[in-house]
Amino acid sequence: SGPDPDIPRITERLAGVRYKILVLSGKGGVGKSTFTANLGFALAYDASQSEPIDTEEGGPSRPARERGLHLEHLKVDEDRITQVGVVDIDVCGPSIPKIMGLEGEQIHQSMSGWSPIYVQENLAVMSIGFMLPDKDAAVIWRGPKKNGMIKQFLRDVDWSQLDYLLVDTPPGTSDEHLSIVSYLSESGIDGAIIVTTPQEIALQDVRKEINFCRKVNVPILGIVENMSGFVCPNCKGESQIFAPTSGGGKRMAEMTKVPFLGRIPLDPRIGKSSDSGVSFMELYPDSPATQAFKDIVDKI
């Protein structure tokens, strides 16, 4: 078989997307989707405003927020609102709609393709979850069908202009990952963020993720250690739930020469905020988890 004729179409469709970032994890349940959703909220948040931006169509654009995007190649410096897209290609367990407060939404077809669902004017989301009859419907698809859906998400969604497209991938390195790398081979992936927990087993899986990225030439932006330590809301003391392996993410990063982006503590309020579909940074601005998250976003 010759080259995939859809790849140039995907490239054309995503021509207005500046940075494409994959969020990966070796295992499920480490908080990858929670991280992706909150990264989306954070990137779309205008720090020059005390409220998340929600301008009216055609309204005056606000200055880009002051953020410490230290990686030169990920800088967004224009004097306008940062546009963010989140695409959830975890076709078997789409959790992005719930975490981002979009459960029950349905996507619509327009002349220019499928319209994503908007959390706010500058934050667009696409997920297989929007196409299921109800939230409990499980998707049991074989490889070719999954790949077909991923291809459609990249080829047929009208994202318009985006600064960041965050791709929430399924856990591990499966067919879906190879597909997305191949579909984006022409338009390019700017980097991957690997989310893990401090547990040894999850860390071993991180090695596989790192090897995968290196094999397919996707630059690794860094490792995030999630659920790392528990900050007691009463005494503010920190306990290492997964001791003695805590700090493993950092060691792994050093060993593999990958940037360590930081640790997000285990905080039950993160689960609560996900259930309510609101960013935990907005709900709990003074929590250690929010501070940790901000520090991580500043490093990306």
List contacts with ligand ADP (CB under 6 A).
25, 28-34, 95, 226-227, 264, 266-268, 270-271, 274, 289
- Comparison of 76 and 223: residue with beta carbon closer to ligand ADP: 223
- Comparison of 25 and 82: residue with beta carbon closer to ligand ADP: 25
Asked whether residue 262 is marked as a ligand-binding residue, the answer is no
Asked whether residue 92 is marked as a ligand-binding residue, the answer is no
Asked whether residue 232 is marked as a ligand-binding residue, the answer is yes
Asked whether residue 30 is marked as a ligand-binding residue, the answer is yes
* Ramachandran angles phi, psi of 5, nearest 5°: -65, -15
Q: How far is the CB of 279 from ligand ADP (least distance, A)?
A: 12
SS3 9: helix
Asked whether residue 33 is marked as a ligand-binding residue, the answer is yes
Q: How far is the CB of 282 from ligand ADP (least distance, A)?
A: 15
User: What one-character-per-residue DSSP string does 239-258 give?
Assistant: E-TTTTSTTHHHHHHHHHT-
- Comparison of 184 and 264: residue with beta carbon closer to ligand ADP: 264
Quote the CA–CA distance of 36 and 23 in Å, as a whole number. Answer: 7
Judge contact between 184 and 39, C-beta under 8 A: no
* Ramachandran angles phi, psi of 125, nearest 5°: -130, 140
Asked whether residue 213 is marked as a ligand-binding residue, the answer is no
Q: How far is the CB of 75 from ligand ADP (least distance, A)?
A: 27
Q: How far is the CB of 60 from ligand ADP (least distance, A)?
A: 35
Other CB atoms closer than 10 Å to residue 221's CB: what's the count? 23
- Comparison of 181 and 289: residue with beta carbon closer to ligand ADP: 289
Beta bridge partners of 108: 115
> Which regions of 89-161 does DSSP assign to beta strands (E)?
108-110, 113-115, 117-120, 123-127
- Comparison of 271 and 277: residue with beta carbon closer to ligand ADP: 271
Q: How far is the CB of 288 from ligand ADP (least distance, A)?
A: 10
Q: Closest Cα partner for 167 from 177, 152, 155?
A: 177
Residue stretches of the annotated binding site for ATP:
26-33
Residue stretches of the annotated binding site:
26-33, 232, 235
